[in-house]
Structure 1
């Protein structure tokens, strides 16, 4: 069996730590998420890069903020691991999980059909509404009934413009599909990027391949609203510092600042060894 890449291995180790915190077995994870037992086995052992949604669901179950694990996931994906859409060769498909899910679904449908029949004997007028409500109600104990499709996730950013000021692009869901305004490689070998979210109307910077003590600052000036004195171009500086080894192995993001089309976004990298380096880019109008 081919060993996982170092990037995927770090992600798998973080996911195993979260699984231990939940106290759930693989069967338990499969029951509480949209992913099968055998899928979780592959994700946790680093054999397959998990989907982003799987990482988010495990963070939710463990009560862990998503930022660190999603950063590790992004590194693993960007290093060429790719999403594992196909079943690995020689591995049996998770039939037992599919059969368990279908069986639970049929059992749920049977129970609800029985309830609808009883209600029908009470009143032919209300049976339609009550039976429909019964079909939509959760099972006893507050757990949702089995379903062959995962529940839809909440989409869209949680803030926009000035409301996002100083907040995390990951937690505010502004980092889903951002534009990369510019990339830069420092003399120390660190990689930097300026990012912009059209949905959120914000910009931020990120760095990786860094050392403990390295610092990154960014700001945005100018823009469409700035001439009226109400825009984001007030020179607010957002910064972040590499504090430990986990940070050094991850993408680390500055907080966001509001940025209009036409804004000039600037980042400055101050390595622990000294020798500041800066670069900038303009948000397209």
Structure 2
């Protein structure tokens, strides 16, 4: 694998060593191979690793197969993939409801397999959507960028906004739910509010409009716990319509949709913002 990255103007000053270690997060063993094999070029020249990187510089990285061994998975159907954004390193697609992000065993076919078939190489999950949830989801197209995207997620600079139709009326235009979430004692599928042993979970809610006895809200995640929006809304008396685990209101689907995904591209520093539509979600709104 060979990648050429042009350093943008607003990139922070750093050395070649800092770029590879602190920004690209390349493991020590692979950095050693890059150095000994002279597989790092700056403007097509071999440079000292303490040399400073200048804006506009072209960084060429060559990885051998043993650096990042390819993980082989069965490919799915490329025609099932709806692309929202794509470049050499990453791809954002619109996941339909009723499809898993990835399989539970190596032979199970899920969205990851379909995306890999579309890209014609094994892709990697950056974040997940529940099987019942539709919308924008990000995948890495190579193992080089995967840890960089994972760090962006951990640093909370990948913004994920959802639309949810939930029961009842919201008394406030905006609110933030911070209840900790843990596992259900008796049902492994479920999560519960657990103030003592639960993990920190933060969901920002904005009321959009009332639809009969339900409300359409926008939810922005600050953390990414399993079933976070579903558990938070249900605990506060606003279970999502059609939720098979946390709601008694029946619908054709779970009325939760990952509407918008926004992040800064780690290589170009451009803002990438995509919006995903869902015919079934919009139909569910019209039926209220």
Normalised-by-shorter TM-score class: under 0.3
Question: Whose relative contact order is higher, 1 or 2, with alpha carbons under 8 Å and at least 6 apart?
Answer: 2
Give the TM-score normalised by the residue count of structure 1.
0.21
More helix, by proportion: 1
Give the TM-score normalised by the residue count of structure 2.
0.21
When Rg is computed on C-alpha atoms for both structures, the one with the higher figure is 1
